[in-house]
Structure 1
């Protein structure tokens, strides 16, 4: 199934609210058709052990707060989990208690607005492809490096969701058969080697072994390896700590290996790397590019995709969710029709008209 941003949607006026739901927060913003966030609010996600109704109430609360000040036409929800092909039901959310949850209909009934539910990685990818680092490119793969690895694919200006709506779970590609155990139940998944959790695990193991190269890490956490976090490793790497630079280079190398696998499958023009881990910039991306070139199928005899950092940061998910919700509204015929990614569409010749 594909969702296109072609047609006259680019001329459709109106504001939409995008909501980004994570394991610990609900962020919402009013977004205009150009992708600009006019106002934003954020609140903590209720305890994950509470009922889905509690999370639903939180979403309704932030949306109602924003719509009191803005004439919005639709609401888009970006949820971390599997969303069905109708963009209506959350089939499974690992960080919340949603199982076969009819979220779209529940929110639509309460808000009395059109609602679209989308996977959060798809929503973020859509925003980056349309108004972020991927603007102008028609074939983009977005990879988000956070606690795990999520992602999405834009092909010929269209968001590809797969037959069942759950394409883009790149983090669970097996890159090391029999490797580290993953939360998904398998071993050797990509996110066990290139995610924030992977960096944290390796740093803690290094510090727990009392390695002399880990002195800065141990000093930063008062000698307790359990207090080491991914952001701390990134911070020390930026300051030039050799052990932390090495840890980021290792994660970057694994990132490049995985990207080469994705290039073999999708042959994109551009990879956009987002998520918290990507904030390390070239400390991560430079080794990723080197590993990508070494691992690329047919290297030296094919064009290479570019690898760039995302531009929209934490707001990508809510921008994309709002834009997808606006895209689902009935389209009005106004002005000149546009083709994919804003290119003028080819006019159809009327029967009997001159060529």
Structure 2
């Protein structure tokens, strides 16, 4: 059976026709309009175009934001002017068939759980380390939504009391310490130090930013400043996962997003920090850590599968 998944990103809308094995059989991409109505029109047009060439049983749309428990209303979207919008109905009106609506991080987490690094697990946490930190939780084979539909906002765990200001309005959230933005901040601080920061300082561009490929190369070259920056982010990640373990007890953490491209340079210190942070008895079972495998396609694959399952 085929279904359509559409993932609304900040700069592009990615869509695809996905089979029940998680394979994308056709893809489409368009730039994300800034006007909310134009954006909904673009999603509808993409879905209709994909449906016109395939026998599709369901359509799913993933978007960043807080979605109510009925998966019908976009309560608040951080990057689009959607406030208490009946978004599922808006899409269904344009597409002419039932639509499944889901948070983008949940969709990506479900995609990895079903067809990616989480395959074979039944209790999984996914953390996406990008500009911020996205989260998704699968418990006993079910996506955790919570009483109001907004569970899984793991990036807004209070990691440090009175810490860095977060875009959510609080201070000290995990995403200020374990994201791509956090890695840049740590790298800039280290670059200002003589000796340790020499490699990072040399890699900075005119705006004081260290490009991702340059950071990756410095890590590969075992540059001490770059490794220290990654270590600081990894420790925050691992310590947070130790706290998640006390509540969720997953058997697997899947790490995605741009920072995850650092691979074992990130995971090795994260695992150490995680095990040191575990509450409870000595010798308790520990979760595995894996890098996500579906990349930028995780969201559209996941929401297509959710649409097929939810009917």
TM-score (norm 1): 0.84
Structure 1 regions of 5+ residues with no counterpart? 1-13, 330-355
In 2, the alpha carbon distance for the partners of 1:28 and 1:163 equals 29
Q: Which residue of 2 aligns with 1:343?
A: none
Counterpart of 2:71?
87
Checking the alignment, whether the CA contact within 8 Å between 2:41 and 2:94 is kept in structure 1 is no
2:137 matched residue in structure 1? 153
How many aligned residue pairs are there? 311
1:38 to 2:39 alignment: no
Inter-partner Cα distance in structure 2 for 1:62 and 1:205: 44
Q: Deviations over 1:219-262 (max 9, x none)?
A: 3344x353334554234323332211211111111110000000
Which runs of at least 4 in structure 1 moved beyond 4 Å after TM superposition? none
Structure 2: distance between partners of 1:174 and 1:203? 22
Q: 2:131 & 2:212 partners in 1: Cα distance? A: 9
Cα distance per residue 1:109-137 (max 9 Å; x no partner): 11112201100111111111112111121
Q: 2:257 is matched with which residue?
A: 275
Does the 8 Å contact 1:128/1:311 carry over to 2? yes
Q: Tell me if 1:264 matches 2:238.
A: no
Q: Which residue of 2 aligns with 1:338?
A: none
**What residue is the counterpart of 1:61 in the other structure?**
45
Instruction: Judge conservation of contact 1:234–1:248 (CA < 8 Å) in 2.
Output: no
Question: Is contact 2:63-2:104 (8 Å) kept?
Answer: yes
- 2:65 touches 2:103 (CA, 8 Å); kept in 1? yes
Work out whether 1:188 is the aligned partner of 2:172. yes
Say whether residues 1:295 and 2:281 are aligned partners. Answer: no
- When the two chains are superposed, the root-mean-square deviation of aligned CA atoms in Å is 1.6
Shift of 1:278: 0.8
Alignment partner for residue 15 of structure 2, among 7, 28, 53?
28
- Which one of the candidate residues 135, 141, 164 is aligned to 2:148? 164
Please identify the structure whose Cα radius of gyration is greater. 1
For 2:74 and 2:194, how far apart are their aligned partners in 1? Answer: 45
1:8 match: none
Distance 1:57 1:236 in 2: 43
The 3-state SS of whatever aligns with 1:272 is strand
Question: Using the alignment, how far apart are the partners of 2:294 and 2:270 within structure 1?
Answer: 21
Following superposition, the deviation at residue 23 of structure 1 comes to 1.4
Q: Where in structure 2 are there 5+ consecutive unaligned residues?
A: none
CA distance in structure 2 between the aligned counterparts of 1:91 and 1:233, rounded to whole angstroms? 37
Aligned to 1:241: 223
